[in-house]
Amino acid sequence: MLMKKHFILIGFGDVGQSIAAVFEKAHASFVVVDKNEAKLKDRGFEYVAGDATDEELLKRAGIGNASTVIIMLNNDDDIIFTTLIARTLNQRCVIIARSNATKSIDKIYRAGADYVASLSVVAGQMLAHIALGHEEDSILMLEGLEVGRYTLTPGSPIIGKSIAEARIRSRIGCTVIGIEENGKTTTDIDPSIILKEGMTLAIIGNCEQVSKFRDEYIKTQ
């Protein structure tokens, strides 16, 4: 599958369908992975039918070129294993995973997920909106996960730096998952992108990280 910098949505249950609907509305580039091909046929989007714990299947979904992987499976053991495989095949993508039991959260993080949350259908829709840069300000998610959207104002110390030079993730812990400029939103986050005044960044992190990002990088007028 010759896609690049796309989303991979693993699991097409209630939450997965909710997220896919948002992606479709936004005309996002995404692939759905699910065992039940009957649910995927004639839906108008790219899909790969099969077991997400199969390394070859994830390769067919374009895991090596994906920007973000969202894992919405119903079994935590499958989530852990899928996360481990996805991280092995793509070191740079953002992995957002659902946890069905709180005891699994740490294991999913250790497997390589960037963010783990116990998501309801509504929370899934909110997550997809934020990943696409469509929400304003910040929204508090379950398990302490927060997503925010902030515009770089004059005086921000990261203006003029590339994303790599700003070291937002290593210094603050947040990950930039979307950039809006001149009315256009991209989720293809190249580390060489130069941050400019007026750019709006969609970021994801825990409450403390997002608060620190806002305090250090967003200057009030």
- What is d(CA 199, CA 153) in angstroms, rounded to the nearest whole number? 8
Are β-strands 145-151 and 30-34 bridged in parallel, bridged antiparallel, or unpaired? Answer: unpaired
pLDDT digits (tens, 9 = 90+) for 33-56: 999 999 999 898 999 999 999 999
Q: Does domain 7-126 bear CATH number 3.40.1030.10?
A: no
* pLDDT recorded at residue 143: 46
Q: Where in the chain is the domain with CATH 3.40.50.720?
A: 7-126
pLDDT digits (tens, 9 = 90+) for 65-85: 998 999 999 899 999 999 999
| 128: pLDDT strictly greater than 50 | yes
Q: How confident is the model at residue 121 (pLDDT cuts 50, 70, 90)?
A: very low
pTM of structure: 0.61
Structure-model confidence comparison of residues 111 and 132, the more confident one: 111
Q: Supply the CATH classification number for the domain 133-217.
A: 3.30.70.1450
Output phi, psi for 177, to 5 deg. -115, 0
DSSP 28-70: --EEEEES-HHHHTTSSSEEEES-TT-HHHHHHTTGGG-SEEE
Name the residue among 122, 113, 168, 160 with its Cα closest to residue 141.
122
Query: What average pLDDT is seen over the chain?
Result: 82
* pLDDT recorded at residue 1: 54
Q: Where in the chain is the domain with CATH 3.30.70.1450?
A: 133-217
pLDDT digits (tens, 9 = 90+) for 182-205: 877 776 677 889 999 999 888 877
| Cβ atoms within 10 Å, residue 185 | 15
